[in-house]
Amino acid sequence: MGFLDTILKPLYYAVSWVVVQFHAVLGSIFGPNSGWAWGLSIVLLTVCVRAAMIPLFVKQIKSMRTMQALQPKMKVIQERYKNDRQKQSEEMMKLYKEAGTNPAASCLPLLIQSPFFMSLYGVLRNVADKKPSGVITGSLLVSAYSAHIFGAPISATFIGSSSTSVKVVTAIFILTMCFSQFLTTRQLMTKNVDLTVKTPYMQQQKMMMYVLPVIYIFFGINMPIGVLVYMVTSNAWTLGQQLVVIRRNPTPGSIAWKERQARLKAQGKLNADGTEIKTSIASLVKGGTEAPEDVEPEPTPVRVQPKRQSKSQRSSGGGHQQSGGAAKSGGAKTGGGTKTAPARGRATAGGSGGNRGGQGGGQSSKKKS
């Protein structure tokens, strides 16, 4: 463990510093040497680590859902290229690229969380040996060493202690850790998997649902109680976080997806084709309830009424109209004519017809005036 201690030494300082800061606050409530102050400090450390990993967890859930949907295509590729491993790998990578997923994405939360878990394990192991670890030195080391939870030291292990009370407390924590892990995997398998599609991935997940708790038992008997507190808190966080994600973003065809469709239908938020009705942020802020986006009505055309004219203006306007009509019929436009007056006779020539029409219009306007 000396080589591992050297590698994780910076994290020893980081983890122990966070625990000590929480202990400074909780120690004023429960007492500086209280096991609850140290135990709850570890709980808050777990919450900080898991809260920082929420984006990765959401990515993990989406990646697992995509991998489940790709299982039928993956099976076809495996059957088609069962004698050519290289071609099979190339086609698999091509399939992952087209789907925009990566199998390693589902392992990211576990990989990132592992160094913190191992660092906390190293810190508590040093506390059990009365060795300084990170910033836990001097009086803090004495306080952490003497801290008890339910009558058992937080640095004690199931195997390393001959006390019955320690074995009972550690056994309860180990069983709680295993049971919470079982519930987490079972929730994922029963609520967020399309049971109509039978794939090898489902069989693997079902096997892990029973195998992981057994593995946790063998690891748990060697873990300090403080690390078991971390594991139980982390599993409880995963269970609750997974419940929220599955409820809001379930796998199509799964039980959770059918339940979500039923909720949306009851709330009137489901289209006829089964898609969700999108809501606008403005409607949520304004009305306080989710509602479909408002569609702006088309503007109504406005009819412009002509201006009223005097008798003399109408008379002069008539002359202009006749003049404009004659000019139009002759093929030349004039700015004064707005309407075309009916022609009394057909013009035989465009130019002469226009001139005669213009003269006739002028004479008629003079007679009227």
pLDDT above 60: residue 369 = no
Listed by start position, the domains of the chain span 2-263
pTM over 0.75: no
Cα 156 from Cα 167, distance rounded (Å): 9
**Mean pLDDT, the chain, integer:** 76
- Tokens read off for 339: 């309407």
Mean pLDDT of 122-134: 88
Q: Are 191 and 230 a contacting pair, CB within 8 Å?
A: no
DSSP 105: G
Q: Are 146 and 33 a contacting pair, CB within 8 Å?
A: yes
Greater model confidence, 64 or 48:
48
**Confidence (pLDDT) at 168:** 95
**Confidence (pLDDT) at 228:** 94
Residue type, position 274, single letter: G
Q: Is 96 left (phi over 0), alpha (psi -120 to 50) or beta?
A: alpha
Lowest-confidence segment of 62-71, 170-179, 208-217 by average pLDDT: 62-71
| Residue 178, CA atoms < 13 Å, CB-side half-sphere | 18
CA nearest to 191, candidates 249, 134, 107, 264:
249
pLDDT above 90: residue 85 = no
CA nearest to 15, candidates 105, 144, 129:
144
Q: For 141-190, write each residue's pLDDT tens digit.
A: 999 998 999 989 998 999 988 899 999 999 999 999 999 999 988 888 88
Lowest-confidence segment of 18-27, 42-51, 354-363 by average pLDDT: 354-363
pLDDT above 70: residue 323 = no
